[in-house]
Amino acid sequence: MTGTAKERPGGPAIILVEPQLGENIGMVARAMANFGLGELRLVNPRDGWPNEKAVAAASRADHVVEAAKLFDTLDEAVADLNYVLATTARERDGFKPVLGPVDATAELRRRFDGSHKTGIMFGRERFGLYNEEIARADAIVTFPVSPDYASLNIAQAVLLMAYEWMKSGLDHASQTAFEGPEFPPAERHQLQGLVDHLDAALSARGYFRPPSKKPKMLDSLQAVLTRPGFTEPEIRVLRGIVASLDRFTPDKPRGASASDGEGDKD
């Protein structure tokens, strides 16, 4: 054994069994870093280790590459783990439970929260894991891919599992790390100000014809403007547009007068 596996970072260990290309290892490290995983274990990589191509492909996930542990055999790589999953896209004979990524990461999360040491095995680029390697796992993870093209490269498979791992720790499945600014809905008087502004502008242009239909037309206009739930900044934008149209005439284009303001206020 040429590495140790005593550290317990914040998530399951990602175990690559005989990966072939350094570039693929680097892309795996990048996928892990994207979703907060940091423990990478390599079993007998074909092109040796360390590998400069892995560093180049990691795209600033150097901390994952540099902390990777090297093992001579799969048995050594999983020796300290309490629960191990094996990923495969092919149907296998045997008695292992088969899980989808969502159920698999939920089980990983449950065990991890109970201080179990966990890991996920990924096989070779060309043909994945041997049956005897899968036999060392507690369960199989398979992805809901198209049966017409079920092949995933290592980085894709790791990305899917890392993504589901992060989701399993969120309060809500739709939660994201980034949120847009909060805009409270406009107050009723601001919306009414827009309606009144439009009423004056449209009346000046003879929009309400015949005049007897104006009340119903205004009711329809108010219903249309109420539905979107405009915010105060959006009301200001619309008021500015209407004010700009009010100021425009063929012989007096917008901006001709220095006294023109941005828009009417309530």
CATH number at residue 265: 1.10.8
The answer on pLDDT for 188 being more than 70 is yes
pLDDT of residue 86: 96
Give me the count of residues in the chain. Answer: 266
Same domain, 213 and 141: no
Q: pLDDT confidence of 174, banded at 50, 70, 90?
A: low
Same domain, 260 and 149: no
40-58 mean pLDDT: 94
Which range scores top for mean pLDDT: 142-146, 158-162, 184-188, 218-222? 158-162
pLDDT of residue 93: 61
Same domain, 121 and 143: yes
Question: Is residue 1 a part of any domain in this protein?
Answer: no
Same domain, 117 and 231: no
Q: pLDDT confidence of 251, banded at 50, 70, 90?
A: low
94-107 mean pLDDT: 90
Same domain, 151 and 46: yes
Contact at 8 Å (CB) between 169 and 109? yes
Q: How many CA atoms lie within 13 A of 27 on its CB side?
A: 15
Q: Which of 143, 168, 193 is the last residue of a domain?
A: 168
Question: Is residue 103 a part of any domain in this protein?
Answer: yes
Q: For residue 154, give both structure tokens.
A: 């290592």
Q: Which of 168, 203, 229 is the last residue of a domain?
A: 168
Domains of the chain: total = 2
For 16-48, the pLDDT digits (tens) are 999 999 999 999 999 999 999 999 999 999 999
Same domain, 136 and 197: no
> Could you give the CA distance from residue 110 to residue 10 in angstroms, rounded to a whole number?
13
The answer on pLDDT for 247 being more than 90 is no
93-120 mean pLDDT: 91
Question: Is residue 236 a part of any domain in this protein?
Answer: yes
Question: Is residue 7 a part of any domain in this protein?
Answer: no
Question: Is residue 210 a part of any domain in this protein?
Answer: yes
CATH number at residue 72: 3.40.1280.10
pLDDT of residue 92: 62
Q: pLDDT confidence of 175, banded at 50, 70, 90?
A: low
Same domain, 82 and 147: yes
Same domain, 187 and 143: no
Same domain, 100 and 147: yes
Q: pLDDT confidence of 54, banded at 50, 70, 90?
A: very high
pLDDT of residue 255: 45
Q: Which of 129, 146, 168 is the last residue of a domain?
A: 168
Same domain, 100 and 150: yes
DSSP 9-63: -SSPEEEEES---HHHHHHHHHHHHHTT---EEEES-TT-SS-HHHHHHTTT-HH
Same domain, 63 and 21: yes
Which residue, among 110, 136, 127, 143, has the nearest Cα to 15 in the 3D structure? Answer: 136
pLDDT of residue 249: 58
Mean pLDDT value across the chain: 86
Which residue, among 200, 184, 196, has the nearest Cα to 234 in the 3D structure? Answer: 184
- What is the model's pTM? 0.69
Domain that holds residue 97: 13-168
> Could you give the CA distance from residue 49 to residue 70 in angstroms, rounded to a whole number?
8
Q: Which residue has the tokens 């009301």?
A: 235
Same domain, 153 and 106: yes
88-110 mean pLDDT: 86
Q: pLDDT confidence of 178, banded at 50, 70, 90?
A: low
